[in-house]
Structure 1
Amino acid sequence: MKKYILLTIIVLSAVFQSCTDDLNVVSEDDDVLSEDVLFSTPEGYKKAFAGVYGNLTLTGVLGPDNSSLEGVDAGTSQFTRCLLYLQELTTDELIWSYENDGGTAELQRNIWTPANPVILGMFSRTMVSVSYANEFLRQSTPEKLSSRGINDAATLANIELYRKEVRVLRAYAYYNMMDLFGKAPMYTENDPINFAGPEYNRKQLFTFIESELKAVLPDLKAARTNEYGRLDQSMARMILAKLYLNAQVYIQENRFDDCITMCNEVIAGGYTLKPKYLDNFKADNDTSEEIIFAIQSDGSVSQNWGATTVLTNGQIGAWENNGADFGIGGWTGALRIRKEFVQKFDGTKFSQDTRNTIGKGVQGDPSKQRTIDIADIGVKTQGYILSKFSNKTSTGVNGVSSTYADTDFPLFRLADVYLMYAEATLRGGNGTTAQALDYVNALRRRANSNSNVGNILSSELTLDFLIDERARELHWEAHRRQDLIRFGKFTGGSYNWSWKGNSSKGIAIPSHMNVFPIPEGSLGANRNLTQNTGY
């Protein structure tokens, strides 16, 4: 059950004023509690702790259209929606039909600027995660606890664990800043309020993230032993595995052995593949034994315009009007897929692949058959659609709302670990090819109802195969941009896709676009920040 969000709703009505001040971000919430009131009881600490998690789900406390951040719209600052747009809409996997929506046209045509509102939303929301984490850490020192008469041993142990988890959430926020922007202002709980944090480059951020995660990892709860909605050791190891897999991009170092070590430790945590692939993306996916960490969504208590609400509503076709199949109202063709992604499933080997949910038109109606090409982004019947996410449970029960999804966003899952192990092995890491092949074929068997029809041979296990297999397995899960950069296929012209570079056929884009610009407003708020080259 998704009980953890309920505490989040309460605490986000008590946004810490000080923690927004130190980032030059202003809270719009009127109901701001003083720190002495909020942190006067053990229950207050639990609520505040839930609020750090809650920033990944909610934008404010007055409903889905409310933003707790002044000057940043709720629709362009929800964390998972921004993550989805920056990691997916900029690539070969996704097209958004409504280009009048702020920032979307620039992202999906790869013509963004520092004025893009989605980029600002991601930067602001992620740095507020840092701010919330820092304030919790400031307020939960032994000295603070003692001064407030909180001295019960069990309570102190719980709060100490909260502190460790909060440090992982802060490291995850900086991981995203490092990946997306290549730099970030650095703030910790030891800095004073209204402090202008120094600019950290990728190397400095990498070192900070790695050291923080290693420091707290032994004291986190073991894999799959924490309450749902909270992280454990596997979440920390997953971030480290991602850090090491991409180390050549981030810091020009080979850390593939370390990536394999982390993958092995995650795999040893007791996760197993969900027998049915699509059950990972349904309204009861909080029961999935494959998901390592998910960002919670509840159609009644956490209404927001997050990734799973966007994906479930957006995938409903303008012609197909198939919302009833997925327990959601639908947004009349908001999302479609680009030609190059469709072609990843070409061939008879994928005819029974359950990951292939591509829709090509209305069955039995020759007048409503879609074209693979999207000549005009505004024409919602051009381009194929997808049916991956659902607001129904695995037993076919609708979510509680027909507008807001009950489906949690699967941030990290075991299938990704298998593919990372295989890639790190092929790139020279100390895994074994036999084990890598077993992991890949486990995914192929699952996709083919336990049949070996989709299995590959050792000779077929190549890096070119893996970048396509990652798309087949992990599409729409906010990995694609990072993957394409790591494979040298995002910028430049070695791999073009429809509307890349604002051309219907796709053209090369410059290498500086491997990172996003620092938003104009963020530069103005902290004079220590510098703009990324090329912007």
Structure 2
Amino acid sequence: MNRTITQGLTVASLTAALLFGTTSCMKDLDQEPKFGLNTATIYSNPVLQKQVLAKLYGGLHLTGLKPSDDPDPEVRGADQGATSYLRLLWKMEELTSDEAAVAWTDGSIQALNTSQWSSSNDFVQAMYDRIYFQIASTNEYIREMSDDKLSSRGITGGDLTNARYYRAEARFLRALSYYHALDMYGNVPFVTENDLPGKDLVPQQKSRAALFSYVETELKDIEGLMTPAHAAEYGRADQAAVWTLLAKLYLNAKVYTGIEHNADVITYCDKILKAGYTLAPEYRLLFLADNDVKAKNEIILPVVCDGTRSQSYGATTFLVHAASGGSLQPVAMGITNAWSGIRAKKNLPLSFGLSTAADAANPADKRAIFFTTRQNLEMNSLIVFRDGWAVTKFKNLQSDGKPSPTADPTGTFADTDFPLFRLGDVYLMYAEAKMRMGQTTDPTALNYVNMLRRRGYGFDMNQPNAVSDVSTLTEAFMLAERGREMYWEAQRRTDLIRFGVYTSSTYLWPWKGNVQAGTGLEPYRTLFPLPVSDLSANPSLKQNDGY
């Protein structure tokens, strides 16, 4: 498997620990460095520059120097295994929605299942902390990779060209984290490379609308500084990743600012659609251990997971292990043990028209990937793993059913990359934007939706639902279709809010509002609260309404 960006992550983690630790911990600044590596030597070395960039990408997946057990030094009071950026993002997007529930009782995780979180919820805090650790890491990198500092360190020629690409990628990763802060927390503290860390730094709060403008401006500014679409190493962001994030930002603009930007969604989707990406021939290929080969032309930006070189209990390791349990044998998922954690709320299989095990055994739409043996469709208990169908969409096996050549020999850590951005999502964003512009029968938009449905139905044109049901794009259809295509890909909460049903009493799911049959939520639940610990540390911050 191509794991270019993950190479050197071990070294990068050590160098980054030096970088981000010495800022606040070195007291004898007038003494000679006690280590061979310091800020100057790292950023004067093109090889180490790239390794620290790899650490920034690893920040979406990795945690501390150990995959689990010890508390994470950057996320307050949390076990490292539970603090992976992507694992937290998945929980915040999926457990709080109509698609998933978790059976565990660790900390305050059940409050995500029941929409009862507060400003002291440890997962609300951990996600916030992880976002801001990533922002601090990228700020440091951008600061040290300025043109002035590169020049003073003798970086010229091709090394300078590469360094500028690295800096633009770091700015993209920072914009991605600010986008997540914008989406989940709304009105948040704001710092850039121009704000030097120290005890006197008190980050000022930025309104949601102002943060939207910042992310928009930053992404537009780096668009021309990134590697051209399809030209970057696998696992690194390029222009297409910038365009995709802009499309997502604009698709949700009305939620963030009260103003629609659907024409801008079309503009940036069009750029991606002209860049040469193609759908994977089968839906399942997107979520297997060789997806970096079999689905490479659809994946715009992955979170790279390597079973031997980038190990953590987050990302797809979490998605494969936690989805296994009950009668589902771990070997069928390419692992050695089951965690009996996450499974589907019934709204998800019902959206495919599946309500019995017989239905699920051979679904017409092959995107419906469930395990039902001795699993109940109804979720009578949140903490019983057998209540809820298991989802086997992500597996730690190749498309031929064999382990990956780079798989962890212990069967613990997954080798399956997580498709953070992919073409299928772009097709749906394009179609939704056309619908919101009143162009509900736009032939191009309908064709993009039908391409996904034809793939789902195995290109069997004898299946009527593959195409003929889609002649007009409606809100109800688009929300359901996004669920069928994008389920368990850490997007559902955002989608439900954009479609206006997240807090509504007219659309329910099991245990919404802590009622088994579901109930409406308080309107303020569309944002998470700022953690109480940050409010105490920074009195200038104002809590989100309702908390």
TM over 0.5: yes
TM-score range, shorter chain: over 0.9
Q: In the alignment, which residue of structure 2 is the partner of 1:95?
A: 101
Q: Call closer, same or farther: CA 1:46–1:176 in 2, change over 3 Å.
A: same
Q: In the alignment, which residue of structure 1 is the partner of 2:140?
A: 135
Which amino acid in 1 is paired with 2:532? E
- TM-score, structure 1 as length reference: 0.92
| Residue deviations 1:328-381 (CA, integer Å, cap 9, x gap) | 1242532211112221011689932111112221xxxxxx4x331111122222
Q: In the alignment, which residue of structure 1 is the partner of 2:482?
A: 470
Which amino acid in 2 is paired with 1:172? L
Q: Is contact 2:19–2:38 with CA below 8 Å preserved after alignment?
A: no
Give, in whole Å, the separation in 1 of the partners of 2:442 and 2:383.
45
Q: In the alignment, which residue of structure 2 is the partner of 1:201?
A: 207
2:348 is aligned with 1:344: no
Counting only pairs closer than 5 Å after superposition, residues 412-491 of structure 1 correspond to structure 2 as: 412-428=421-437, 433-452=442-461, 453=463, 454-491=466-503
Which amino acid in 1 is paired with 2:388? G
Q: Call closer, same or farther: CA 1:144–1:431 in 2, change over 3 Å.
A: farther
Q: Is contact 1:17–1:32 with CA below 8 Å preserved after alignment?
A: no
Give, in whole Å, the separation in 1 of the partners of 2:441 and 2:270.
12
1:461: how far off?
2.6
- TM-score, structure 2 as length reference: 0.90
2:331 is aligned with 1:327: no
Q: Call closer, same or farther: CA 1:31–1:352 in 2, change over 3 Å.
A: farther
* CA RMSD, 1 decimal: 2.3
Q: Using the TM superposition, name which of 209-218 and 186-195 deviates more.
A: 186-195
Give, in whole Å, the separation in 1 of the partners of 2:115 and 2:274.
40
SS in structure 1 at match of 2:483: helix
2:416 is aligned with 1:404: no
| Residue deviations 1:476-528 (CA, integer Å, cap 9, x gap) | 00010000000111113121100111111111110101000111222223233
Q: Using the TM superposition, name which of 523-532 and 229-238 deviates more.
A: 523-532
1:37: how far off?
3.5
Structure 1 unpaired stretches of 5+: 25-29, 362-367
| Alignment equivalent of 1:62, drawn from 57, 63, 66 | 66
Q: In the alignment, which residue of structure 2 is the partner of 1:300?
A: 308
Q: In the alignment, which residue of structure 2 is the partner of 1:529?
A: 541
1:321: how far off?
3.0
| Residue deviations 1:200-256 (CA, integer Å, cap 9, x gap) | 111111111011111110121111110011000010001100011001100011100
Q: In the alignment, which residue of structure 2 is the partner of 1:495?
A: 507
| Alignment equivalent of 2:284, drawn from 278, 287, 293 | 278
Give, in whole Å, the separation in 2 of the partners of 1:418 and 1:70.
36
Q: Is contact 1:292–1:413 with CA below 8 Å preserved after alignment?
A: yes
1:458: how far off?
4.7
Q: In the alignment, which residue of structure 1 is the partner of 2:15?
A: 14
Q: Is contact 1:78–1:121 with CA below 8 Å preserved after alignment?
A: no
| Alignment equivalent of 1:151, drawn from 132, 155, 161 | 155
Which amino acid in 2 is paired with 1:271? Y
2:223 is aligned with 1:225: no
Q: Call closer, same or farther: CA 1:32–1:252 in 2, change over 3 Å.
A: farther
Which amino acid in 2 is paired with 1:127? Y
| Alignment equivalent of 1:36, drawn from 29, 34, 40 | 40
Which amino acid in 1 is paired with 2:535? L
Q: In the alignment, which residue of structure 1 is the partner of 2:221?
A: 215
Q: Is contact 1:309–1:403 with CA below 8 Å preserved after alignment?
A: yes
Q: Is contact 1:184–1:201 with CA below 8 Å preserved after alignment?
A: yes
Deviating runs (4+, > 6 A) in structure 1?
20-24, 347-350, 429-432
Q: Using the TM superposition, name which of 467-476 and 339-348 deviates more.
A: 339-348
Q: Call closer, same or farther: CA 1:5–1:31 in 2, change over 3 Å.
A: farther
2:39 is aligned with 1:50: no
Give, in whole Å, the separation in 2 of the partners of 1:196 and 1:484.
34
Give, in whole Å, the separation in 2 of the partners of 1:398 and 1:8.
23
Which amino acid in 2 is paired with 1:197? P
Give, in whole Å, the separation in 2 of the partners of 1:269 and 1:31.
46
SS in structure 2 at match of 1:272: coil
| Residue deviations 1:444-480 (CA, integer Å, cap 9, x gap) | 1101111132213454531101101111110000010
SS in structure 1 at match of 2:136: helix
SS in structure 1 at match of 2:468: coil
Q: Call closer, same or farther: CA 1:478–1:31 in 2, change over 3 Å.
A: farther
Structure 2 unpaired stretches of 5+: 26-33
Q: Call closer, same or farther: CA 1:21–1:461 in 2, change over 3 Å.
A: farther
Q: Is contact 2:235–2:303 with CA below 8 Å preserved after alignment?
A: yes
SS in structure 2 at match of 1:253: coil
2:324 is aligned with 1:316: yes
Q: Is contact 1:76–1:102 with CA below 8 Å preserved after alignment?
A: no
1:68: how far off?
4.0
1:16: how far off?
5.5
* Identical positions, percent: 36
Q: Is contact 2:44–2:155 with CA below 8 Å preserved after alignment?
A: no
Q: Is contact 1:76–1:118 with CA below 8 Å preserved after alignment?
A: no
Q: In the alignment, which residue of structure 2 is the partner of 1:162?
A: 166
| Residue deviations 1:81-110 (CA, integer Å, cap 9, x gap) | 000000001111111111x22232011111
Give, in whole Å, the separation in 1 of the partners of 2:244 and 2:425.
10
1:9: how far off?
2.3
Q: Call closer, same or farther: CA 1:526–1:360 in 2, change over 3 Å.
A: same
Give, in whole Å, the separation in 1 of the partners of 2:395 and 2:119.
34
1:430: how far off?
7.0
Which amino acid in 1 is paired with 2:332? D
SS in structure 1 at match of 2:509: coil
Give, in whole Å, the separation in 2 of the partners of 1:109 and 1:61.
33
Q: Is contact 2:75–2:126 with CA below 8 Å preserved after alignment?
A: no
